[in-house]
Amino acid sequence: MARWEPGARERLVLAAVALFSEQGYDETTVTQIAERAGVTKSTFFRHFPDKRELLAAGQETLSRLLAEGIADAPAGSSPLDAVAAGLDRASGEMGPMNRELGPRLKAAVAASAELQERDALKSVGMAAAMTTALVARGVAEAPARLASEIGVLAFKQGFDRWSGTARNDDDGLARHTLAALAELRAATAALG
Footprint on this chain of a copy of itself (rule: CB under 8 A)? 77-81, 116-118, 120-121, 123-124, 139-140, 142-143, 145-147, 149-150, 153, 183-188, 190-192
Which are the contacts of 108, defined by CB distance < 8 A and separation ≥ 6? 17, 20, 21, 24, 25, 115
Q: How far is the CB of 63 from a copy of itself (least distance, A)?
A: 14
Angle at the Cα of 176 (from 128 to 141), degrees rounded to 5?
A: 25
Cβ contact 134:144 at 8 Å = yes
Contacts 24+ apart (CB under 8 A), 162-171: 162/99, 162/102, 163/98, 163/99, 163/100, 163/101, 163/102, 163/103, 163/106, 164/102, 164/103, 167/96, 167/99, 167/100
3-state secondary structure of 131: helix
Query: Which one, 33 or 82, has the nearer CB to a copy of itself?
Result: 82
Q: How far is the CB of 109 from a copy of itself (least distance, A)?
A: 11
Q: How far is the CB of 21 from a copy of itself (least distance, A)?
A: 21
Query: Which one, 107 or 120, has the nearer CB to a copy of itself?
Result: 120
Query: Which one, 78 or 165, has the nearer CB to a copy of itself?
Result: 78
Query: Which one, 37 or 154, has the nearer CB to a copy of itself?
Result: 154
Q: How far is the CB of 8 from a copy of itself (least distance, A)?
A: 26
Query: Which one, 36 or 118, has the nearer CB to a copy of itself?
Result: 118
Q: How far is the CB of 136 from a copy of itself (least distance, A)?
A: 17
DSSP annotation of 4 reads -
Q: How far is the CB of 74 from a copy of itself (least distance, A)?
A: 12
Q: What is the rounded CA–CA span in Å between residue 78 and residue 75?
A: 9
3-state secondary structure of 73: coil
Query: Which one, 107 or 140, has the nearer CB to a copy of itself?
Result: 140
Give the amino acid at 28: T
